[in-house]
Structure 1
Amino acid sequence: MAVEHSPTAFVVPAVTLLAAAVIAVPLFRRMRLGSILGYLAAGLVIGPFGLRIFSDPAAILHVAELGVVMFLFIIGLEMRPARLWSLRRQIFGLGVLQVSVCSALLTAAGIAGGFPVAASFVAGAGFVMTSTAIVMQTLEERGEITTPTGQKMVSILLLEDLAIVPLLALVVFLAPAVSGTPEGGLTSRLIAVAIGVAAIAGLIVAGRYLLNPFFRLLASYGAREVMTAAALLVVLGSALALQLGGLSMAMGAFLAGVLLSESTFRHQLEADVEPFRGILLGLFFMAVGMSLNLSVVIAEWTTVATYVAAYIVAKAAGIYAVARILKSDHAEALERTVMMAQGGEFAFVLYAAASSTGLIDAQANAILTAIVIISMVLTPLALMALGALTPAPTQSLDDVEIAEGLSGEALLIGFGRFGQVISQALLSERAEVTIIDNDVEMIQAAGTFGFRIYYGDGTRLDVLRAAGAGAARLICVCVDKREVADKIVELVKAEFPLAKLFVRSFDRQHTLALRAQGVDFETREVFESALVFGQEALVALGIEPDQAAAVVADLRKRDAARLELQQHDGIQAGAHLMHPQVTPAPLVEPARRARPLNPEAEDVLSDETRFSG
């Protein structure tokens, strides 16, 4: 895009980038292909090989570099030593082994294709760097980041994030060897390494002794925007310092983040910078999409297709082998393989650095970049295929007792957080309680604390009969999913009408539905605890304890009265909760406080529309 000396010279490109992202990302997420692919596609469409709205390669490079710099700063900011230490065995054991094996296989694939050893190593090392954004987003969507399987993948990603730093230095070290200058080759190489090491050492010293005093001085003036500006100054200044030292701006940003991770101002800085993370990553991926040279892909389609397949297969073989060697089962190893077999965003950084030093030429950079981008595009599709082709995981029932031929005066279904508290109350009075759950890990964990839990699915009539529902005087439904609770209630009411039925409710509407089904008792899972919380909050604000208890007791009574009203009047009564202007007079006069929390809030407790939970 042509540069104009007018206010629109910046606004038009910015609006174009934002519009492309706003259109493409929701579309791709709707198709369950992920936001990253949306950014890549948007960049491809508006880039020099699409609609040519952006045609200046230098501008594209600057956008991409800024995105990488800020991305690596955020990564570094999260690399707290304590976090690294807790995962040290998986990071430096599993992570190092996987990176080493996959690097060797990928380098061998390049050499087998007739490419030089140095270029093959750089190409393979770049592809080893899994896409942190894709894997972390997938784990977050599945809720698996904190699971053992997820933690292993996170550890590998951390090691790969750390590995980019020595790899960038290695590119600088290898570059003089292929520069074609026989005289002074070793001397030039040593000087370049010495300058790079000096730049890193200088940055570490400055960060250790200057950053905290610097931010403490700025904080004393109380200007938050200045703190944000100072954070950007440190990031970009560190990036520039390492670039002048012959290394990468990205490496400088990473080190700045690591240094700030130990600063007393770390949380403030993270809060200031975090909102920019998503948009900067989006800009980075859009710039990557713009960088996809379709003319090179078309001209070299056989090379691109061959190495996409070869690299994915080689890396997948390495990941699966390492997982199995370290005792992961087949399902876990296969899932990790499919999720991590692609190249990642750090490959672009490594390839750009190698291209700028002459280690690989522009044509090779374009081909390798296309290979990585295509592998990233294929990852969501591969995960969808894996989910469709593999059966649902089955839980091992080793050392788990099946619910069969049981009896007791109470049957408790679901041993989560809610059910555990209920069971303690029943067991404390030596009630004959049978507890069933379908989470094997929960059952095994409970067994270590002396609880005897049986395996069984409460939505199956045969399981309920085997668990003694027919002889139970009380059935407590404590499961953590509303649809599951509703199915169990339907079965119990139809097949075991003599048992009292107590049910964990999830919200007000669920409570009304359960009462309509005729359960003997229900309680919303957070209502009572919220009342206790509110009572203690009133006391903390200076209300007398007796008065606070009276307020909460009144709230409980009025809530019960409103439920009765809604139960009998249905939608008409429920409409009052949605339209405050037609709210009837309070059903019960609220207890008066010793003093209002603030003058405007005098009657807040008498407004029943505010308590619909």
Structure 2
Amino acid sequence: MEDHGGMSLLRDGVPLLGFALVFVLIFRRLGLGATLGFLVAGALVGPHVLGLVGDAEGKLGIAELGIALLLFLVGLELSPSRLWRLRKDIFGLGLLQVVLCGLAISGIVLLGTSFSVEAAFALGLPLALSSTAQVLPMLQSAGRMRTPFGERAFAILLFQDLSLIPLITITAAMSRNPADAGGTPGWLLGLYTLAAVLGLILAGRYLLRPLFRLIGNLGEREMFVFAGLFTVIAASALMEWLGVSAALGAFVAGVMLADSPYRHELEADVEPFRSILLGLFFLAVGMTLNLNAIAERPFFVAGMAVALIAAKTVIIMGIAMLFGMKRRAAFALGLLLSQGGEFGFVLFAQAQAAYLVTGEAASLFGAIVTLSMATTPFLMMLTQNLRVDGEAAPGEEREGPQHDGSNAIVVGYGRFGQTVAQMLMGQGIPVTLIDTDVEMIDVAGDFGSKVYYGDGTRIDLLRLAGAADAELILFCQDGDKLDTEAIEAIHHAFPQASIFVRAYDRRSIIKLKGAPVTGIVREVLESAIAMARKAMEAVGVDHMEIEKTEAEYRRRDSARLKIQRDTGDLRAARETMFSTEALAAALVDDIEKTG
């Protein structure tokens, strides 16, 4: 019976996704991270164990788009202000870590094997990189991202992500592949790459930003997804056509949009595709691991994993102490980053394609990376007493969230939101601004305010904007878009944040009955009271009478609103209102009393 492609995809998808679901849940539960779960699931369903799924190489080719999307998202994080704030740690601590660890581990590989110098570098340099996919979730779950310790770990990981591009270039320069040898000369390839990068930057400014602006005006979220994926694939395809790493194109595409108003919207839309394809990538890597070769040399794999962990821990600890970290904190940083990382699998595949190492060697060193990743959670637990003082030193925790500078998130930057945001900024509170009005975003930029495009009621977009660390979330947009269910979901996702809502009218307030909000403000109440006060002053009403009238109005209005919210009836407690009928009745009473 003919095996149609669609049927084959469905047949392979069931065991792949089923095993991935089970093992990721188990490994997450054990605190070992999702990456190891994907690798083990792939190894089990692959040809060397159960043989349930084939064509690992084909799946790996498709899944490499996940790496491109990962680098695109890394590029989106590189806003100039963040780079400048972390510049010393990124380009000092990070550079020294990659260079010194890479050289040391390459030396260990050269001494412990019979590989050539080129092969030792092709295998040793990638082992200097740590697992961003494993370390960042560990920092976030421990509440360490906001500390100097967490920021230094992030800075090193960020430089490691950036170093993937030069490491791929180094591997290509050492290539023994005849096809590579007969290719474009290195100096000309460098010029092509530089021209492509400049072209992508110009395309970002003069083509992509107007495109996203047009899509924003249309309000079509699906088109943002298409445009984001098109940007990544087109930039990657351009670099691949030039014979350079496709990942470089995706990274440049991210950087050129990092300072655009559409950054958070793009992150929220691309992230699900990145997660799925990156998971498929690790599944395919697990399928390609030659477990027979690993079983033949288990002591070599274990010994090299121990050497990798020890070398990286000692070197990172030493560098961190040079940069002013205390001994225990430096030791904790070294252990946290001691494992190999997911980009090692990418670089091993590049080395194999360049004929620098065999497939057996790539599988062996892939197993070394996997084993080192598995040890990190256990090492952190076992050494807790040795590093706790340094990792949680008094005064290390910063005051207020440091997520790209947002202590407060203001959703809606119209007339109302501008006043709220400017007053918060006047108190020195960092604010992240979100709106969907493209025209207003452009005008705000002319006045020096950075407003990000996106629907600020979406939890995924709020999380990317820093809501997990924010102390305030203020909904200042026009209209009647929020209800109790939406606010409850946002409060559940970000329980540490106080939520304030601008209500359109009394109906909006009734609609938010029972919502976990810190405060609700009716948008025209205070300005209307201010005008009434000025009007009474203009006709000569005594100041004390004005104060008395305002206080009585506020008392009645508050009491009536409470009854309306409790009953859900807008007409409830009408008799408490000041009205023409009530005024006429009061005049009649006054006339009767005076005779």
With the length of structure 2 as denominator, give the TM-score of the two structures.
0.65
Matching residue within 340, 345, 353 for 1:343: 340
Supply the AA of the counterpart residue of 2:141: E
Tell me, yes or no, if structure 1 residue 14 matches structure 2 residue 13: yes
1:160-196 deviation per Cα after TM superposition (whole angstroms, max 9, x unaligned)? 1111112222222232xx45799x8898343444444
Go from structure 1 to structure 2 and tell me whether the alpha carbon gap of 1:221 and 1:557 turns closer, same or farther (over 3 Å shift): closer
**1:84 and 1:193 mapped to 2: Cα distance?**
25
Go from structure 1 to structure 2 and tell me whether the alpha carbon gap of 1:276 and 1:394 turns closer, same or farther (over 3 Å shift): closer
**2:173 and 2:574 mapped to 1: Cα distance?**
77
In the alignment, what sits opposite 2:126? 126
Go from structure 1 to structure 2 and tell me whether the alpha carbon gap of 1:153 and 1:179 turns closer, same or farther (over 3 Å shift): same
Pairwise CA distance, 1:393: 6.4
Tell me, yes or no, if structure 1 residue 362 matches structure 2 residue 348: no
In the alignment, what sits opposite 1:287? 284
Supply the AA of the counterpart residue of 2:519: F
| Segment of structure 1 superposing worse, 66-75 or 135-144 | 66-75
Which aligned pairs between 1:559-570 and structure 2 lie closer than 5 A? Answer: none
Tell me, yes or no, if structure 1 residue 225 matches structure 2 residue 222: yes
**2:519 and 2:362 mapped to 1: Cα distance?**
60
**1:299 and 1:19 mapped to 2: Cα distance?**
29
In the alignment, what sits opposite 2:262? 265
Supply the AA of the counterpart residue of 1:152: R
**1:359 and 1:116 mapped to 2: Cα distance?**
9
Pairwise CA distance, 1:304: 1.9
5+ unaligned residues in a row in structure 2: which ranges? 401-512, 533-549, 578-595
**1:45 and 1:186 mapped to 2: Cα distance?**
38
**2:558 and 2:129 mapped to 1: Cα distance?**
56
Which aligned pairs between 1:192-341 and structure 2 lie closer than 5 A? Answer: 192-341=189-338
Go from structure 1 to structure 2 and tell me whether the alpha carbon gap of 1:300 and 1:91 turns closer, same or farther (over 3 Å shift): same
**1:395 and 1:58 mapped to 2: Cα distance?**
45
* Contact 1:60–1:290 (8 Å) recurs in 2: no
Could you say what secondary structure the match of 2:520 adopts?
helix
In the alignment, what sits opposite 1:456? none
Matching residue within 184, 187, 190 for 1:190: 187
In the alignment, what sits opposite 1:534? 520
Supply the AA of the counterpart residue of 2:309: I
In the alignment, what sits opposite 1:410? none
**2:17 and 2:525 mapped to 1: Cα distance?**
49
Could you say what secondary structure the match of 2:51 adopts?
coil
Tell me, yes or no, if structure 1 residue 384 matches structure 2 residue 392: no
In the alignment, what sits opposite 1:146? 146
Supply the AA of the counterpart residue of 2:222: E
Go from structure 1 to structure 2 and tell me whether the alpha carbon gap of 1:228 and 1:23 turns closer, same or farther (over 3 Å shift): same
In the alignment, what sits opposite 2:506? none
Pairwise CA distance, 1:127: 0.8
**1:115 and 1:155 mapped to 2: Cα distance?**
33
With the length of structure 1 as denominator, give the TM-score of the two structures.
0.63
In the alignment, what sits opposite 1:436? none
In the alignment, what sits opposite 1:432? none
Go from structure 1 to structure 2 and tell me whether the alpha carbon gap of 1:547 and 1:229 turns closer, same or farther (over 3 Å shift): farther
* Contact 2:139–2:150 (8 Å) recurs in 1: yes
Pairwise CA distance, 1:217: 4.0
In the alignment, what sits opposite 1:514? none
Could you say what secondary structure the match of 2:244 adopts?
coil
Could you say what secondary structure the match of 1:360 adopts?
coil
**2:209 and 2:243 mapped to 1: Cα distance?**
27
**2:2 and 2:227 mapped to 1: Cα distance?**
29
* Contact 1:173–1:192 (8 Å) recurs in 2: no
Give aligned-pair identity as a percent: 37
Pairwise CA distance, 1:222: 4.2
Go from structure 1 to structure 2 and tell me whether the alpha carbon gap of 1:393 and 1:194 turns closer, same or farther (over 3 Å shift): closer
1:520-572 deviation per Cα after TM superposition (whole angstroms, max 9, x unaligned)? xxxxxxx9x9887235568379899866655656889999xxxxxxxxxxxxx
Pairwise CA distance, 1:8: 3.5
Go from structure 1 to structure 2 and tell me whether the alpha carbon gap of 1:265 and 1:32 turns closer, same or farther (over 3 Å shift): closer
* Contact 1:127–1:344 (8 Å) recurs in 2: yes
In the alignment, what sits opposite 1:57? 56
**1:329 and 1:204 mapped to 2: Cα distance?**
41
Aligned Cα root-mean-square deviation (Å): 3.9
Pairwise CA distance, 1:396: 7.3
Go from structure 1 to structure 2 and tell me whether the alpha carbon gap of 1:158 and 1:540 turns closer, same or farther (over 3 Å shift): farther
Higher relative contact order (CA 8 A, sep 6+): 2
1:424-463 deviation per Cα after TM superposition (whole angstroms, max 9, x unaligned)? xxxxxxxxxxxxxxxxxxxxxxxxxxxxxxxxxxxxxxxx
Go from structure 1 to structure 2 and tell me whether the alpha carbon gap of 1:396 and 1:319 turns closer, same or farther (over 3 Å shift): closer
Pairwise CA distance, 1:31: 2.4
Could you say what secondary structure the match of 2:383 adopts?
helix
In the alignment, what sits opposite 2:451? none
Could you say what secondary structure the match of 1:534 adopts?
strand
In the alignment, what sits opposite 1:486? none
* Contact 2:239–2:246 (8 Å) recurs in 1: yes
**1:14 and 1:551 mapped to 2: Cα distance?**
61
In the alignment, what sits opposite 1:85? 84
Go from structure 1 to structure 2 and tell me whether the alpha carbon gap of 1:20 and 1:259 turns closer, same or farther (over 3 Å shift): same
1:287-340 deviation per Cα after TM superposition (whole angstroms, max 9, x unaligned)? 332232211211233332222122222112111111122221122112111110
Could you say what secondary structure the match of 2:174 adopts?
helix
1:10-50 deviation per Cα after TM superposition (whole angstroms, max 9, x unaligned)? 33333433322322222222223233322222222222223
Go from structure 1 to structure 2 and tell me whether the alpha carbon gap of 1:231 and 1:106 turns closer, same or farther (over 3 Å shift): same
Which aligned pairs between 1:345-494 and structure 2 lie closer than 5 A? Answer: 345-387=342-384
* Contact 2:43–2:283 (8 Å) recurs in 1: yes
Go from structure 1 to structure 2 and tell me whether the alpha carbon gap of 1:270 and 1:393 turns closer, same or farther (over 3 Å shift): closer
Go from structure 1 to structure 2 and tell me whether the alpha carbon gap of 1:317 and 1:213 turns closer, same or farther (over 3 Å shift): same
* Contact 2:231–2:253 (8 Å) recurs in 1: yes
Supply the AA of the counterpart residue of 1:534: I
Go from structure 1 to structure 2 and tell me whether the alpha carbon gap of 1:282 and 1:329 turns closer, same or farther (over 3 Å shift): same
**1:386 and 1:282 mapped to 2: Cα distance?**
30
Could you say what secondary structure the match of 2:357 adopts?
coil
- How many residue pairs match? The answer is 439
Supply the AA of the counterpart residue of 1:216: R
